Amino acid sequence: MARVEYQEQLDDLRRNVVAMGDTVIDRYDAALRALETKDESLAEDVIDGDEEINERYLDLESDCIDLFALQQPVASDLRFVASSFKIITDLERIGDLSVNLAEYTIAAERERYPEIDLIHIGTETGGMLMEAMDAYEAGDPELASEVAERDDEIDHLCSAASDAVVEDLIRTDYGDEADEVMDDVSRLLLTVRDLERVGDHAVNICARTVYMIDSDAGLIY
């Protein structure tokens, strides 16, 4: 009976981590929609919803600690609990980055550099996150490795966007508009940085999943 209850706790942990991932992905998608449509009401919803993500994180953190302390898992179970513990941390931080994107939407007064497709970058990154969670749920190290390999393309897109902005600043004299331009540039570069960080956290989730199955996160990093 004790073994059955223990296995149920492990199954519940996996289900709850996946559910937290679904919530975080929903918040991230909403933040992207707000950024694209300049929907301040939607952005406010993303900001207000961060408390729910934080509460889920704390509940799952407690569940992991209880499993460590009370069940003393070994071998594969230990890797599973440890990986899940790390993954919820990545998910909580993605929730924070989604809040950042929502705040940038509210703060923006002008659209500058429309040729930089932030939504494309964000959509590609969101796809990585979704598939990273699929790999965790299925315990699929091959999918996790495939997803992580796409991070180089995200890094390239973000680097190209940042370089385009810097090059424009170097060759253009904005005169009296310089202060406004710098505010817009700072916000845009922060947006690019945060989108890239979401991709980094997706890679972390992939690495935790590979470790969970094969005990070698070095296959990702």
Quote the number of domains for the chain. Answer: 1
Q: Domain containing 180 — which CATH number?
A: 1.20.58.220
Task: Check whether 220 has a pLDDT greater than 70.
Answer: no
Q: What mean pLDDT comes out for the span 5-10?
A: 91
Name the percent of the chain lying above pLDDT 90.
78
Handedness of CA 97, 102, 106, 109 (dihedral sign): positive
Angle at 184 (CA atoms; ends 183, 190), nearest 5 degrees: 90
Domain residues for 160? Answer: 2-219
The DSSP 8-state label assigned to residue 110 in this structure reads: S
91/20 Cα distance (integer angstroms): 8
**Model pLDDT, residue 85:** 97
Query: What is the Cα Rg of the chain in Å?
Result: 20
Q: Rounded distance, CA 97 to CA 22, Å?
A: 15
* pTM: predicted TM-score of the whole model, two decimal places: 0.93
Asked whether residue 102 carries a pLDDT value surpassing 70, the answer given is yes
Q: With a cut of 70, say whether residue 218 has pLDDT above it.
A: no
Residue 195 is encoded by which pair of tokens? 């989108």
The pair of three-digit structure tokens given for residue 118, joined into one six-digit string = 């932030």
pLDDT of 219 strictly over 60: no
Minimal CA–CA distance to 12: which of 76, 72, 91, 66? 66
Pair 148, 220: CB distance under 8 Å:
yes
The per-residue pLDDT for range 38-60, each reduced to its tens digit, is: 999 999 999 999 999 999 999 99
Conformation bin of residue 173: beta by default, left when phi > 0, alpha when psi is -120 to 50 = beta
- Please state the rounded mean pLDDT for residues 145-174: 93
Lookup result for tokens 């799952």: 60
Q: What's the rounded mean pLDDT across residues 81-91? A: 97
CA atoms within a 13 Å half-sphere pointing along the CA-CB vector of 197: 18
Compute the distance between CA of residue 63 and CA of residue 58 in angstroms, rounded to an integer: 9
CB 133 within 8 A of CB 25: yes
Confidence of residue 73 (pLDDT cuts 50, 70, 90): confident
What is the pLDDT of the chain when averaged over all its residues?
93
